[in-house]
Amino acid sequence: MQEFGQLIQSLMLKFLGTYFACLGENLCPTFLGLSVRYLKTNINKYYVHDARTVSQLLPDRELINVTITSPPYWNIKDYGCDKQIGFGQSYQSYLDDIQAVFSQIYKRTKKNGSLWLVSDTFKYEGELRLLPFDISERLKSCGWILQDIIIWQKDRTLPWSHQGKLRNIFEYIAFYSKSSKFKYHASAIKDIADIKNYWINYPERYSPEGKAPSRSWHFAIPKQGSWGKNNYVRHACPLPPGLIERILKLTSDKGDLVFDPFAGSGSVLATAKALNRNYIGIDLNKNYKDMFLKSVLPSIKAQFNSRVNIADENALTMKKFRDLIVQLRCLKFPKELSRLYSKTGIPACLGVLVIKIARQNELKIQFIFKNKKATPPNFCKDLMAIAIKSPLSKYGISATIETTEVNKIDRSIGHMKSKTFFLYKGSIFYRWHMTISKADLKGKLQDLSNDELRSDRFPPIISNIKLKIDTRNPSKSLEI
Ligand SMILES: C[S@@+](CC[C@H](N)C(=O)[O-])C[C@H]1O[C@@H](n2cnc3c(N)ncnc32)[C@H](O)[C@@H]1O
């Protein structure tokens, strides 16, 4: 019994000894349970460490949500430290090291996690080396699934070209996931920047959430000295915070853990912090860590703080755009309905009452006729048949379609709060032509039978929707 007690005691001592030894060297104790405690005190840190031994720093657990990094580009640059990956190595052993690093990261990434790798091709001994694609082969064998390749267009670059090599203005961003179910918040990065003015005439082709992001991203490289007045960023290739922000919004949430095994200036880590994520970064070069703490972390934080108002403005513009697209669709829908119906016959319709119900995409449409006799047989049925087919089925509008007689129009609008209606003439659905008061609507509709407002294919639309978009300067309608 005494011997058994001694055995337990010596095991305990061994266990604690290893644990404290590991903590002392910033290494990870691999005992289950301790790693959680370890993480609590060891996140939001930049470690001077060799990426080849990520496993000594991070517990053997799925804890990383997203890794964003740009590895050393083989022999291209000397980062000035022993044991650096790339410089002075053969291409094969460089790729072996890269594979070893990302295999350890794979094991420590959550099932729905992802990896973003910025890299580029380069010329060596007169031949182009396809570095991003060679790395991709190695990462595939670790289990990473290549989801997409994005072109990062930079505006500043080396100004020269030479025989067989044009001036380079882009790099590749490869996006990998650990499994087929990965975080991907596409709507978080939709925007309306550079949107063409066609959204006015073709609102059904534009998502109210904005334009889906393309595979070509434009971000200027941060200038030397851009982070803090006197605090120059002396790193060859700092990633722009805007680019990192886009990746973080797309594939992570607040509170997630962001990792960069080749942190350099630490712009990934600082941007993660500014967007309320946690981070762990490593790099061999201690000077970079010092630069991160002294300049990059505070200046990226300040940059994001000063952007809070801009972010609010963007959100308001996006809301305005969303509302306009929905309203445009609501007015184009009945116009198209009339146009498509007119292919089979032209109804003697006086006008179309289009009432937008409080819910975003809900419409009540009433085709107004002089009297019952003037209403074509099966009219609503025929219109419904058109409405449920493409292209109208793609408008995302839920509509009730009815007919009414001009004498009964007061019944249709009597309960409505709006005192004014807007009349849209002919095929112009994005700009009202005249306003009509509720009290005058019936009289005006009766006049319409002889009025210049009438058009057989496009009976005027009378609606509670108020739209006046200047087609020559549509961005004015998005101003807040
Ligand atoms: C392309 S740079 C990364 C730049 C970084 N993305 C930024 O925004 O500043 C590659 C970095 O890898 C680091 N590095 C090279 N070998 C390493 C190794 N074995 N372990 C950790 N870092 C290493 C270099 O010091 C360099 O800072």
Q: What is the pLDDT of residues 54-107, one digit of tens each?
A: 999 999 999 999 999 999 999 888 898 889 999 999 999 999 999 999 999 999
Residue 385, strand partner residues:
none
The ligand 1 atom at the shortest distance from the C-alpha of residue 265 is 9
88/222 same-domain check: yes
In a domain, 312, yes or no: no
- Residues 440 and 434 sit within 8 Å (Cβ to Cβ): no
Q: How far is the CA of 347 from the centre of ligand 1 (A)?
A: 72
Domain count, the chain: 2
307 ligand 1 Cβ < 6 A: no
262/376 same-domain check: no
Q: How far is the CA of 232 from the centre of ligand 1 (A)?
A: 18
In a domain, 20, yes or no: no
Last residue of a domain, one of 306, 341, 371: 306
165/283 same-domain check: yes
Q: How far is the CA of 69 from the centre of ligand 1 (A)?
A: 9
Centroid of chain to Cα 311: 14
Q: Which two tokens stand for residue 342?
A: 């007119």
**Residue 273, amino acid:** K
Point out the least confidently predicted range of 107-116, 244-253, 466-475: 466-475
In a domain, 14, yes or no: no
Q: What is the residue with the minimal CA distance to atom 24 of ligand 1?
A: 79
The strand pair at 109-119 and 278-283 is best described as: unpaired
The strand pair at 64-69 and 45-48 is best described as: unpaired
Which CATH number is 203's domain given? 3.40.50.150
How much is the pLDDT for 5?
A: 56
Residue 115, strand partner residues:
67, 176
What percent of the chain is modeled with pLDDT above 90? 57
Last residue of a domain, one of 274, 306, 338: 306
Bond from prior residue into 59 cis (ω within 30 degrees of 0): no
Q: How far apart are CA 405 and CA 96, in angstroms?
A: 79
In a domain, 381, yes or no: yes
pLDDT (tens digit, 9 = 90+) per residue, 364-385? 999 998 888 888 889 999 999 9
Tell me: pLDDT of 32 over 50: no
Among 33, 112, 64, 38, CA closest to 278: 64
pLDDT (tens digit, 9 = 90+) per residue, 329-339? 999 999 999 99
139/176 same-domain check: yes
285 ligand 1 Cβ < 6 A: yes
- Out of 49, 84, 102, 265, mutate this one to test ligand 1's pocket (max ligand atoms within 8 Å of CB): namely 84
Q: How far apart are CA 429 and CA 399, in angstroms?
A: 17
pLDDT (tens digit, 9 = 90+) per residue, 194-253? 788 889 999 999 988 888 889 999 998 876 555 445 444 555 578 999 999 999 999 999
Q: Which domain holds residue 58?
A: 43-306
- The pLDDT confidence band at residue 8, using thresholds 50, 70 and 90, is low
293/436 same-domain check: no
Helix and strand element counts for the chain (H, E):
13, 16
198/341 same-domain check: no
Q: How far is the CA of 119 from the centre of ligand 1 (A)?
A: 12
Rg (CA), the chain: 32
pLDDT (tens digit, 9 = 90+) per residue, 289-303? 999 999 999 999 998
Better pLDDT: 332 or 18: 332
The ligand 1 atom at the shortest distance from the C-alpha of residue 50 is 20
Q: Which two tokens stand for residue 9?
A: 């005691």
Q: How far is the CA of 265 from the centre of ligand 1 (A)?
A: 9
CA-to-CA dists, residue 251 to 106, 254, 324, angstroms: 16, 11, 29
SS3 content of the chain, % helix, strand, coil (to 5): 40, 20, 40
276/355 same-domain check: no
- Residues 273 and 297 sit within 8 Å (Cβ to Cβ): yes
pLDDT (tens digit, 9 = 90+) per residue, 115-152? 999 999 998 888 999 999 999 999 999 999 999 999 99
How much is the pLDDT for 449?
A: 60
H-type alpha helices, 34-118: 34-42, 54-57, 91-107
The strand pair at 362-369 and 398-405 is best described as: parallel
In a domain, 35, yes or no: no
375/250 same-domain check: no
- Residues 392 and 336 sit within 8 Å (Cβ to Cβ): yes
Q: What is the residue with the minimal CA distance to atom 7 of ligand 1?
A: 238
83/217 same-domain check: yes
Tell me: pLDDT of 24 over 50: no
474/382 same-domain check: yes
274/170 same-domain check: yes
**Distance from first CA to last CA of the chain, Å, rounded?**
81
- The pLDDT confidence band at residue 158, using thresholds 50, 70 and 90, is low
H-type alpha helices, 236-285: 241-251, 267-274
In a domain, 95, yes or no: yes
173 ligand 1 Cβ < 6 A: no
Mean pLDDT of the chain: 86
441/295 same-domain check: no
How much is the pLDDT for 392?
A: 96
In a domain, 225, yes or no: yes
In a domain, 84, yes or no: yes
pTM greater than the 0.85 cutoff: no
Give mean pLDDT, residues 388-400: 94
| DSSP H/E element including 436 | strand 434-437
Tell me: pLDDT of 34 over 50: no
